[in-house]
Amino acid sequence: MSTARLQKWFPWALSPIICNGPMIGAASPAMATEVTKAGGIGFLSCVFDVNPDSAQLTKLEAELVEAKTLLGGSDAGAGAAAGPLRVGVSFITGHSSIGHFSSTALPIIVKHRPAAVWLFAPAASPDQRGPHGAVISALRKSLPAGAGPRVFVQVGNVGAAREAVRDGADVVVCQGIDAGGHQFRRGAGVVSLVPEVRRMLDEEDEFSSSDVGLLAAGGIVDDKGVAAVTMLEAEGVVMGTRFTVAEESVYPDHRKQLILHTVDGGSSTLKSPFHDQLNSNALWGPLYDGRAIAGPIHEKFLSGTSLDECRKSLKEDYSAEESVRMINTWAGTGVGLVRKAQPAGEIVREVREGAKAHMRKIAGHL
């Protein structure tokens, strides 16, 4: 395992490479740029609506402009020879509008030239092939060879990783089931997922000429977690829960406080489609569920109360404020290790240097 390929593509990044997850409602231009300045790879918040009149695309363009300003205005100039803007953007590709990507989202990417584009959660299709191949092909054709963004594809099992590489992904983000937020229903933990995807990339003839990076995600919140997945041959990590409480996070304060005071993530969080079913959220199809901190309404559901009864209870038994606070605080099983709010750049530096110290310590015991 070597981080050389990622450091070639992202020359400001330091090993082990740390990225913030592109979390809706938490990631911000300030977070992404501070992660980048600290030697990580920063990502802006996900977009899912790419319709021609999408307010999300208007917001994305504004955030790219803000990111350039926060990075000092030196990133991404005119012409193909100029360097990329040192942040990434992200798209949830299961939304019905994804067919508009080339006409609506792609021009924004070509104009602002983010260094990376992250794709996740294509809808299930009868032939089991999603839109990522077409999206990646459009990205490749949008700028001269070598000048376009590197494409990250988030996966939760080996089959999805194989499809991602066939579609042309530069980086597969292997998200284990300990992750907070949305993920594959039929996934694996990083301890088995990362090595099996690594073996697929290294040993299967189909991928012998592929140059694909591998990042680990899911339950990784500190330096020990980073050191552990580095030994599994991940080239870097993506952290979500840890960054939700960063000073630059736009997660509401009540959600930050809940994360900081929650322990025992295995029992205090719930991985289930229930979170979205409760809100009648149709964005996430049958391939995906999510992990969030559980509250009284989740306990009712787990004790046998029906979905309809839970929906009714949420409206009738709690105030509007209580209902909002009780649901959709997305967090992974590592939440019990998240104990303090910090600047995003400090998180990156602390975790990276701590991971290297742990790896040196382990090597010294051998």
Contact 292, 272 (CB under 8 A): no
Q: Cα–Cα distance between 176 and 254 in angstroms, integer?
A: 26
Q: Is residue 194 within 8 Å of 216, Cβ to Cβ?
A: yes
Alpha helix (H) residue ranges in 290-337: 296-302, 307-316, 320-326
How many C-beta atoms surround the C-beta of residue 150 within 10 A? 21
Could you tell me if 35 and 348 are in contact, meaning their C-beta atoms sit under 8 angstroms apart? Answer: yes
- Among residues 95, 112, 132, 182, which one is catalytic? 182
Asked if 288 and 121 touch (Cβ cutoff 8 Å), the reply is yes
Query: What is d(CA 194, CA 321) in angstroms, rounded to the nearest whole number?
Result: 40
Helices (H), 121-204: 132-142, 158-167, 190-203
262 conformational bin, left if phi > 0, alpha if psi -120 to 50, beta if neither: beta
Q: Is there a catalytic annotation at residue 132?
A: no
Question: Shortest CA distance to 246 belongs to which of 235, 259, 227, 237?
Answer: 259
Residues annotated catalytic, as ranges: 182
